[in-house]
């Protein structure tokens, strides 16, 4: 996986230092059976107490050295793996932030959460294991074969049969396991998606008593995840006991042929014991290698999913103009927006256009009202201005410059958007308002809340502007959240202010007061108001009427009442024919 190279360059020194200490530990483990065989064959058989004492002291020293190597290796492995996981998670999060809405829609939010959490944990655990047992197992296996061969070359033929058989079984294990673990992670995505959807809509579930439906829905995806996990574990479960069986056959073979050699005086008892110890170490290492490949298969599947995010290409062109400030001759265009034959369709809609051939100009300082039936494309239209999505056809200009030629950060710095769905973040009231302007003073914050008609409510709270907001703003009403979002947008003092149906939870009187305050505040900036209520846009400089993604009419209220049937129908349906 390409993304590993970056972290290998960063952590290769402590990584290979951990491997060095692991190698030291393994060498100490490999020496002990040979030392033990010498104690038996020389010290015990010949009754040399001094030799036994010296070799026992040597064995204790080797054991102590191996313990030092193991402790040091554990410290280094934990340090490297934790920092690797931290950096990988940070870089993946940064990558996700750089993606366009289309990329995120394609990858899906629940899947991205799984990749940021579970997938990275699996890869991190593999890296940790790599410096602890994953490298030790093959070293121990090869070293045991080498040491056993030195003891008795003829008896080592057992390894020539056992090791290839186990190797083939491990390869089959990997071949079967990889696609299964891919499916396990995909099923986990669905479980996370269902949980997230339930938690975000828990109030609706409770209001409509849909517990049984949600329970059944979760049970379905949970069962799918459990079924594929059981199937995977069942397939993987065959291999460890099979490998164990093959290795134990090898131990029996060593005992059988070793016993024959002892009877024929071709081997000593100590050598047989050492051989069995080496065979046990090979059993342990082979079991570990089998576990390693099972872990590797899962980690590889997770790494591939992480790599998919890193390889995701943001097709949104990055503008080369660092400043959206026009030259002096364009100064009169400040806040000017022009749509020229714009058409747009979302991915997954098979090219079905949401907007078709949109043409209009929002002059500098003009207030534009956008109205239309549900699904007519109002929100989609304004989402194209800050480049949440790019138009499929046509062009959008800001201050006389195509938005694709303006650096995205600079473009969005000139725009304030109050979205249809109000989003507040965990923290204090003043922190949420300062999202619009990080360095804003308390006076500026209070000015914005006065305009949004929320200052009196905040002042009445025990902690005032330092009142904590729960996750998603759960301790505030819908209208209060909308007014806080409006204050957050106003404090930015942008060139373009977009209000996307953000007063739907307010009463008519409060909405009217906010609209009047914004009218005074909005002098000199371009304001675009999307609304379902026709009264919200009747007094704007220009009204754009959308119908099925097309412009049905443009003009002032009076003109549209005589020239646009769609607008007239909306007016009569909301205010009555007699109005």
Read out DSSP for 500-558? Answer: ESTTTTS-HHHHHHHHHHHHHHTTTSEEEEE-SSGGGTTTSSEEEEEETTEEEEEE-HH
Q: Which residues lie across from 361 on neighbouring strands?
A: 338
CA distance 93 to 224: 28
What confidence tier does 348 reach under pLDDT thresholds 50, 70, 90? Answer: low
Are the beta carbons of 372 and 547 closer than 8 angstroms?
Answer: yes
Rounded to whole angstroms, the Cα distance separating 503 from 453 reads: 12
Cα 137 to the chain's mean position, in Å?
32
For the chain, percent of residues with pLDDT exceeding 90: 6
pLDDT surpassing 80 at residue 72 = yes
Q: Determine the pLDDT at residue 324.
A: 44
Task: Please report the pLDDT score of residue 339 as a whole number.
Answer: 93
Q: Rounded distance, CA 15 to CA 123, Å?
A: 15
Residue linked to tokens 């959308």: 546
What are the CA-CA distances from residue 224 to residues 115, 231, 553 (Å)?
19, 10, 51
CA distances from 160 to 105, 143, 146, 154, 384 (A): 54, 14, 12, 11, 67
Region 469-473: mean pLDDT is 78
3-state SS, residue 209: coil
More confident residue, 75 or 294: 75
The secondary structure of 551-574 as a DSSP string is EEEEE-HHHHHHH-HHHHHHHHHH
Residue 578 above 60 pLDDT? Answer: no
Q: What is the pLDDT of residue 12?
A: 86
Which pLDDT does position 323 carry in this prediction? 47
Determine the pLDDT at residue 319. Answer: 58
CA distances to 42, 144, 257, 415 from 39, rounded to whole Å, are 6, 19, 22, 83
Give Cβ neighbours of residue 327 (< 8 Å, ≥ 6 apart). none
| Dist CA 513 CA 511 (whole Å) | 5
Cα–Cα dist 569/371, whole Å: 12
- Give the H or E element holding residue 449: helix 442-451
Q: Which of 232, 12, 229, 29 is nearest to 130 (CA)?
A: 12
CA distances from residue 69 to 24, 33, 54, 131, 138 in whole angstroms, order as listed? 6, 19, 23, 12, 17
Q: What is the pLDDT of residue 342?
A: 92
Three-state SS string over 347-372 comes to: CCCCCCCCEEEEEEEECCCCEEEEEE
Q: Which of 76-90, 191-205, 270-284, 309-323 has the lowest mean pLDDT?
A: 309-323
Can you tell me which residue has the tokens 């024959």? Answer: 260
How many Cα atoms sit within 13 Å of 64 on the Cβ side? 6
Q: Quick check: 277 and 145 in contact, CB under 8 A?
A: no
Give residue-wise pLDDT tens across range 212-249.
888 888 888 888 888 888 888 887 777 777 877 887 78
Domains of the chain are 4-311 (1.20.1560.10), 423-493 (3.40.50.300)
Q: Is the pLDDT of residue 41 over 70?
A: yes
Q: How confident is the model at residue 579 (pLDDT cuts 50, 70, 90)?
A: very low
* CA–CA gap between residue 4 and residue 111 (Å, rounded): 21
Phi-psi map region of 372: left, alpha, beta (phi>0 left; psi -120 to 50 alpha): left
Give the lowest-confidence range in 93-97, 328-332, 342-346, 419-423. Answer: 328-332
pTM listed for this prediction: 0.68
Could you tell me the CA-to-CA distances from 110 to 104, 105, 301, 372 in Å, in that order?
10, 10, 17, 32
The separation between CA 544 and the C-alpha centre of its own chain, rounded to angstroms, equals: 39
pLDDT given for residue 541 in this prediction: 87
- Alpha carbons 558 and 6: distance in angstroms, whole number: 63
Paired tokens of 39: 């104690």
* DSSP letter assigned to residue 321: B
Distances in Å between the alpha carbon of 11 and those of 84, 88, 127, 199? Answer: 8, 12, 11, 39
């Amino acid at each position: 996986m390409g993304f590993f190279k970056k972290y290998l360059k960063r952590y290769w020194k402590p990584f290979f230092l951990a491997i060095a200490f692991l190698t030291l530990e393994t060498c100490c483990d490999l020496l002990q059976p040979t030392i033990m065989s010498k104690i038996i064959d020389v010290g015990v058989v010949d009754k040399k107490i001094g030799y036994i004492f010296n070799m026992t002291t040597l064995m204790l020293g080797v054991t102590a050295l191996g313990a030092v190597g193991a402790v040091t290796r554990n410290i280094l492995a934990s340090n490297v793996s934790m920092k690797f996981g931290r950096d990988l998670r940070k870089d993946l999060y940064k990558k996700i932030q750089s993606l366009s809405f289309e990329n995120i829609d394609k990858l899906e939010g629940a899947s991205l959460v799984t990749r940021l959490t579970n997938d990275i944990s699996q890869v991190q655990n593999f890296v940790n294991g790599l410096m602890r047992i994953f490298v030790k197992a093959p070293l121990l296996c090869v070293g045991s074969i080498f040491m056993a061969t030195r003891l008795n070359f003829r008896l080592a033929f057992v390894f020539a049969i056992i090791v290839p058989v186990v190797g083939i079984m491990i390869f089959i294990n990997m071949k079967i396991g990889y696609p299964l673990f891919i499916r396990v992670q995909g099923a986990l995505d669905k479980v996370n998606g269902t949980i997230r959807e339930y938690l975000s809509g828990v109030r609706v579930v409770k209001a409509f008593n849909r517990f049984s439906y949600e329970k059944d829905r979760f049970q379905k995806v949970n069962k799918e995840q459990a079924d594929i996990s059981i199937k995977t574990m069942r397939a993987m479960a065959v291999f460890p006991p099979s490998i164990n069986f093959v290795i134990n056959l090898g131990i029996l073979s060593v005992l059988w042929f070793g016993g024959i050699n002892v009877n024929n005086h071709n081997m000593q008892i100590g050598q047989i014991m050492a051989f069995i110890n080496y065979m046990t170490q090979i059993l342990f290492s082979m079991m570990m290698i089998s576990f390693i490949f099972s872990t590797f298969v899962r980690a590889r599947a997770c790494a591939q999913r992480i790599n998919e995010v890193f390889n995701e290409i943001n097709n949104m062109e990055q503008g080369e103009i660092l400043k959206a400030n026009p030259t002096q001759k364009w100064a009169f265009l400040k806040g000017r927006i022009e749509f020229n034959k714009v058409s747009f369709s979302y991915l997954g809609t098979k090219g079905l256009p949401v907007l078709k051939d949109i043409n209009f100009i929002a002059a500098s300082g003009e207030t534009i009202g956008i109205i239309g039936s549900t699904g007519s494309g109002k929100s989609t239209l304004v989402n194209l201005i800050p480049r949440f999505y790019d138009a499929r056809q046509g062009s959008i200009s800001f201050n006389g410059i195509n938005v694709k030629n303006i650096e995205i950060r600079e473009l969005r710095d000139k725009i304030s958007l109050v979205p249809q769905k109000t989003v507040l973040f965990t923290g204090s009231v003043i922190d949420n308002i300062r999202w619009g302007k990080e360095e804003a003073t308390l006076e500026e914050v209070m000015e914005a809340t006065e305009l949004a008609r929320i200052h009196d409510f905040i002042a009445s709270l025990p902690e005032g502007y330092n009142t904590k907001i729960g996750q998603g703003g759960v301790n505030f009403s819908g209208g209060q959240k909308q007014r806080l979002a409006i204050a957050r947008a106003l404090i930015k003092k942008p060139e373009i202010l977009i209000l996307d149906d953000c007063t739907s939870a307010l009463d008519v009187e409060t909405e009217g007061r906010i609209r009047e305050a914004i009218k005074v505040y909005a002098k000199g900036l371009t304001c675009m108001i999307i609304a379902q209520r026709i009264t919200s846009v009747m007094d704007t400089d220009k009204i754009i009427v959308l119908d099925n993604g097309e412009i049905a009419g443009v003009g002032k209220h009076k003109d549209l009442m005589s020239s646009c049937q769609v607008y007239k129908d909306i007016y009569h349906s909301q205010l009555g024919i007699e109005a």
